[in-house]
Amino acid sequence: MSPTRLEAFSDGVFAIAITLLVLEIHVPTNQGENLWRALGDQWPSYAGYVVSFLTIGIIWVNHHVLLDVVTRATRALLFLNLVLLMATAFIPFTTALMADYLRASQGQDVAAAVYSASFLLMGFSFAVINLYLQRHGDLVAEVISEQERRRRVLRSVIGQLAYAVAIALAFVNAYLSLGICALVAVYYIHPGAPLTAES
């Protein structure tokens, strides 16, 4: 299979997953009198929407940087890519879970931990694809420099570590956990970040 088709299919799944996020935000029912307040009360839904949207958007960009140099798609690459898509398409669920429980008196720790864990899983399956392509130089058109390779590994490790910290912190303070996920997104988007992929 040509890598172009692989990218097109992946783009489709990324675009759909990112747009489905909105379906998990619900219109408050029978809150006419207090609609401002009811809308404000579900701020975790909006925060989750923004954080998940940006994070999936970043994965989409990085996915292109990674696959743009691939000249041939093996069965193993197809499968590893499918796992990444599976992890990504799962995020609308974990986002809804986090949003529904963040302000609850109980369960907010579990919900925030699962939310961070879904980002860790997505990042990890991305890292595996990266590793696979580095080990199979015959599949890529241009070998990246050793410096660039280190940069990418470092970037990947930092992301994974931050999400791991977010999982642990969820049991201390769920808001803090969400905050770290948001920070990771901001960090990767920042143009000055030395650890991000070239665009």
Please give the residue ranges that form the binding site for a copy of itself (CB under 8 A). 1, 5, 7-9, 11-23, 25, 27, 29, 31-33, 35-36, 39, 49-50, 53-54, 57, 60-61, 64-65, 68, 73-76, 78-79, 82, 85-86, 89-90, 92-93, 96-97, 100-101, 104-108, 110-111, 114, 189, 191, 196, 199
**Of residues 24 and 166, the one with the C-beta less far from a copy of itself:** 24
C-beta separation of 73 from 82 below 8 A: no
Judged by beta carbon, residue 117 or residue 153, the one nearer a copy of itself is 117
The rounded Cα 156 to chain-centroid distance in angstroms is 12
Kindly tell me which of 97 and 129 has the beta carbon lying closer to a copy of itself: 97
Least Å distance between CB 175 and a copy of itself? Answer: 16
Beta bridge partners of residue 70, listed in sequence order: 140
CA distance 85 to 88: 5
Q: How far is the CB of 111 from a copy of itself (least distance, A)?
A: 7
- Which of 191, 63, 77, 74 lies closest to 123, judged by CA? 63
Q: Do residues 151 and 194 touch, judged by C-beta distance below 8 A?
A: yes
